């Protein structure tokens, strides 16, 4: 059996009468870059929310590193190694760029209220380590010099990178990126593709939701296509482009 880092079995999510994800089963190989594509409303973000534990599935199983994680809480899943970014970025307000990335270290540190209040030695040690690690990840996305800027005052494209740094700071094994390329210009998209390859080199599995087919063609080693909450097809980018079902689903869209 191949080394699958993430497996979904018959996953279903219904909101009252609306079925967002219907009977999806898939496997993600470790340390690959996988793209999840599909028309709007196909259930891609819902899928992410299910994997991270933000939503509870109506039915089905989620396996992470061969462990069933259905009953594992969302914060615990971060500890286990699942991290994500959001379509709307959601950087924290009233915080600097570096502080935002430092929050990413939350799951890798432990000093609580008491250590903080009394400034015990463990607090100081951890703060140093948190700051160092956060700086490292900020440098990885190339924004080290903006550490002290107010995070929400940064340009859109750079905010997206900061969000990725924040997610990386939790040392994930699986990184879920929700439309990382949306709203970026060609140059920024190229930088993003390079960043994704660097992330893969760190041993991390990357799953990204994307609409830009050029980008998907360039970075994705495997593509999964969703439509109306179901898995329509999967394969390499080249295979997907030729798949009749996929073409039919996208009829009317410009991307293909």
Could you say which of 15, 194, 197, 255 contacts another protein (CB under 8 A)?
15
Q: In this complex, which beta carbon is closest to another protein, that of residue 97 or of residue 223?
A: 97
Q: In this complex, which beta carbon is closest to another protein, that of residue 16 or of residue 155?
A: 16
What is the phi/psi pair of residue 90, to 5°? 60, 50
The yes or no reply on residue 159 touching another protein (CB under 8 A) is: no
Size of the site for another protein (CB under 8 A): 49
Q: In this complex, which beta carbon is closest to another protein, that of residue 29 or of residue 115?
A: 115
Could you say which of 170, 184, 189, 234 contacts another protein (CB under 8 A)?
170
CA distance 119 to 223: 49
Query: Per-residue string for binding with another protein, 31-50, x by CB under 8 A?
Result: ------------------x-
CA distance 256 to 253: 7
The yes or no reply on residue 112 touching another protein (CB under 8 A) is: yes
The yes or no reply on residue 74 touching another protein (CB under 8 A) is: yes
The yes or no reply on residue 251 touching another protein (CB under 8 A) is: no
User: What residues contact 209, with CB distance under 8 A and at least 6 apart?
Assistant: 35, 36, 37, 44, 45, 48, 177, 178, 179
Q: How far is CA 111 from CA 18, 71, 116, in A?
A: 42, 26, 7
Q: How far is CA 253 from CA 84, 209, 213, in A?
A: 27, 16, 11
Q: In this complex, which beta carbon is closest to another protein, that of residue 102 or of residue 216?
A: 102
CB 129 within 8 A of CB 109: yes
Count the Cβ atoms, other than its own, within 10 Å of residue 217. Answer: 15
Residues that bind another protein (CB under 8 A): 13, 15-16, 49, 52-57, 73-75, 78-79, 83-86, 90-95, 99, 102-107, 109, 111-113, 115-119, 123, 126-127, 130, 166-167, 169-170
């Amino acid at each position: 059996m191949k080394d699958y880092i993430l497996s979904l079995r018959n996953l279903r999510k219904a909101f009252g009468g609306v079925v967002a994800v219907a009977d999806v089963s898939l496997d993600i190989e470790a340390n690959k870059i996988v793209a999840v594509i599909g028309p709007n409303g196909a259930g891609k973000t819902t899928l992410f929310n299910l994997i991270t534990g933000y939503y509870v599935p109506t039915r089905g199983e989620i396996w992470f590193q061969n462990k069933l994680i259905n009953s594992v809480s969302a914060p615990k899943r971060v500890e286990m190694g699942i991290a994500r970014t959001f379509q709307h970025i959601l950087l924290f307000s009233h915080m600097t760029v570096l502080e935002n990335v430092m929050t990413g270290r939350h799951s890798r540190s432990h000093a609580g209220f008491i250590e903080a209040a009394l400034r015990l030695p463990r607090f100081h040690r951890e703060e140093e380590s948190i700051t160092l690690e956060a700086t490292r990840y900020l440098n990885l996305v190339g924004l080290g010099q903006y550490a002290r800027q107010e995070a929400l005052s940064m340009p859109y494209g750079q905010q997206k990178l900061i969000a990725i740094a924040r997610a990386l700071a939790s040392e994930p094994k699986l990184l879920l990126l929700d439309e990382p390329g949306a709203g970026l210009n060609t140059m920024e998209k190229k930088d993003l593709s390079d960043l994704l390859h660097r992330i893969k080199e760190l041993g991390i599995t990357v799953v990204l939701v994307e609409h830009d087919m050029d980008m998907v063609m360039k970075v994705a080693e495997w593509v999964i296509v969703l439509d109306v909450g179901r898995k329509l097809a999967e394969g390499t980018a080249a295979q997907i482009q030729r798949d009749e079902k996929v073409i039919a689903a996208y009829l009317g869209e410009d991307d293909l």
